[in-house]
Amino acid sequence: MKHPRSSILLAAAFLAACSIESANDGAIEMSGRDLLAQYATVPLDPDLSSLSSAERQMIPLLIEAAEHMNAIFWLQAYGDRDALLASVDNDDLREYVKINYGPWGRLSGNEPYLTDVGPKPAGANFYPADMAVEEFEAAVAASDDEGEQLRSLYTLVRRGDEGELETVPYHEAYAAHLQAAAEKLRDAAALAEDPGLRRYLELRAEALVSDEYRASDMAWLDMKDNTIDIVIGAIETYEDQLFGYKAAYGGYVLIKDKTWSERLSRYAELLPDLQAGLPVGPEYRQEVPGTDSDLNAYDAVYYAGDSNAGSKTIAINLPNDETVQLEKGTRRLQLKNSMRAKFDRILVPISEVLIAEDQREYITFDAFFANTMFHEIAHGLGIKNTITGSGTVRQALKENASSMEEGKADVLGLYMVTRLYEQGILSDGDVKDNYVTFLASIFRSVRFGASSAHGRANMVRFNFFGERGAFSRDDATGLYRVDFERMRSAMEELSQLILTLQGDGNYDAAGALLAEKGVIGPTLQADLDRLATLGIPVDIVFEQGIGVLERERV
C-alpha cells in the first residue's frame, strides 16, 4: 500500500468547531488539536490490589501479548505504520493517526484527513488494492474448495506470480508477531493459579500460531473462576467492509469485578424463554441458544488493535463462531470503567443539550449499563443459519451481515428489557429510564458516523423509530421527547423486520434497508454539529499500558 508523505489536512469538514484558513503550520497544529478534541482522555488504571502476586505478574505479560495485535492490525488496516507516522510532522496530528490506525477518520465516515491519501479501500489491506468484486467472486466459483480458503476468516488474498488470486494464511503472514504473542501467553499460563485460565491461555497461544480457534473458544467459555482475562486474536470482521469475511486482530486485558458479576449471573438462563417469545414467526426462532453463557462485569486494563481503533468498545459478546454459540452459548463482558467514562463524559452532556428537560431524569447509568448488557445478550437470540438453505446469516448477507446483526442486537436488547420489566424480573428503576437512555445513546453512537456496521445500524434504528413516532423533535428548542407506547411498537416492528431478513438470508433487501435508512439526515446532522460546537467529546481515548500501571503504583 502507498505510504504518502502527508503533512497537511484536507479542508476539515469533520468538525463544526474546526476552522482552517490556510495551510501553514499554525493552522495544521490547531486542526490537529481540534481533531484530538473529539476524544476525552481516560486513564486505564484499575485497582490491582485484589490480585494475587502471580496475577499481578501476569498482567504485563498479557499486555505485551496484546501489543503484538497492535502491530498486526496496522498491517491489516493500512500497511507500514512507521512510514506513515514519519510522514506527519505535527505532534497532534501524529497522535490522531495513531488513534485511527491510518490516515482515514474512523469518526468521520473513513474520510481521509491527510493530503495525498485516496479513499480507504473497502477491503482494507486484506485483498489486493486493484481487485474487483467480480474477480473475487469468479475466483470463488472456480476454486476447488468452493471458495472456502478465499472466504476464510483467517487468510489474506494476494496475487500470485501470474496475477491470479491466491491466499496466505494469517499464521504465515504474521508469523513473527503471532509467535511472540503466543510465547507471552504461555509465560502467563505458567503463572496462572486458576486451571481453567491456564488451559485457555495455552490453547489460545496455539490458536494464534495455527488459526484454529475453536478449542480455545470452548476453553474460554469453560473457565468460570478466573479473575483476570484476555481476549486476543483475529476476531471481528468489521474492518472488511468489502465482504465482511476477514477477521482483524485485536485484544483486551481485563480484570473481573466479582461483585457486579454476581448481579448479572442470573440472566443467561433466561435466554431460551426470551428466544421463544421473540416477535417473529416460529421458523425464525427455532434455534435454541446455548445456556452455558456468562454475564460478567470487568474493568479494562488494556485495549489493542482492532479493539482500540477509533471508537472504543464498552461491551463484548464472544465467541463469534456459530457452532460454538449453538453448542455452548457466549460470554458477555461489560467493561464497566469504560462504560462509566462514556456515560459521565459524553452521554450526560448530550442529554442536557438534546433531551427534553422533563425527561432527563430518566437518563441513568444503570439503564445505560442494562441497555448495553442486553444488547450483548441479544446477539445470542434470533437465528444463526438461514431457513432458506443459504448457509449462515453471515455468509448470506455478506458485507451487510455485521450491520444487520448490530441492528438486531440493539433493538432486541430493548425488547428484552421491556419483557423482563413486565415479568417482574427487572424491578429496580423504570423501563422509561431504558427508553430515554436508549434514545440519548443513539445520539452518542451516531457521532461515530454512518460508515461502520454500528453506525449504519444506529441510523436505521433512528430513522425507523422517528418515522413511527417513537420520538419527536421540538423544532423551536431542538429537544427530543420519547413517546413510550410508540417506542414499544416500533421496537417490535423493527425486531420482526431484521429477524426476517436474517432468517431469509435476503441480501438485497438488507442492503436496500441499510441504503435507505442507514444515513444521517440534515436535521440530525445539525444537532450533532451543535454538540461538536459545544465541545462535547465524541468518544474516549486511553492512557494505558505497563507504564500507566507502574505510575499508579508509585
Residue 272 lies in a domain: yes
CA distance 76 to 79: 7
Position 210 in a domain: yes
- How far apart, in whole angstroms, are the C-alpha atoms of residue 159 and residue 127? 9
Is pLDDT of 76 > 50? yes
Note whether residue 194 is domain-resident: yes
Cβ partners under 8 Å of residue 166, min gap 6? 157, 158, 159, 160
Is it the case that residue 23 has pLDDT exceeding 60? no
The H-assigned helical ranges of 106-174 are 133-142, 170-173
Higher pLDDT, 39 or 32: 39
Q: Hunting for cell 467480480 — which residue is that? A: 134
Q: What is the CATH number of the domain that holds 465?
A: 3.30.540.30
- Cα(436)–Cα(471) distance, rounded to whole angstroms? 9
Q: Residue 117 has what pLDDT?
A: 92
In a domain, 451, yes or no: yes
**CA geometry: angle 215, 334, 289, nearest 5 deg:** 50
Cell 441458544 identifies what position? Answer: 289
pLDDT average, residue stretch 213-221:
97
**pLDDT exceeds 60 at position 432:** yes
With a cut of 80, say whether residue 305 has pLDDT above it: yes
Assigned domain for 168 exists: no
**Global pTM value:** 0.81
On the question of pLDDT at 495 being above 90, the answer is yes
Distance CA 488, CA 470 (A): 8
Order across the sheet with 331-335: list the strands: 228-236, 248-257, 294-305, 331-335, 315-318
In a domain, 308, yes or no: yes
The answer as to whether 413 is a domain residue is: yes
Average pLDDT over residues 548-552: 74
The number of distinct structural domains making up the chain is 1
What is the pLDDT averaged over residues 180-187?
98
Query: Residue 224 class from Cβ within 10 Å (0-12 exposed, 13-18 middle, 19+ buried)?
Result: exposed
Confidence check: pLDDT of 88 > 80: yes
In a domain, 264, yes or no: yes
Residues spanned by the domain of 184: 175-546
For residue 144, what are the contacts with CB-CB under 8 A and spacing of at least 6? none
Centre a 10 Å sphere on the Cβ of residue 82 and count the other Cβ atoms it contains.
Answer: 9
For residue 282, cis peptide bond before it (omega within 30 degrees of 0)? no
CB 21 within 8 A of CB 324: no
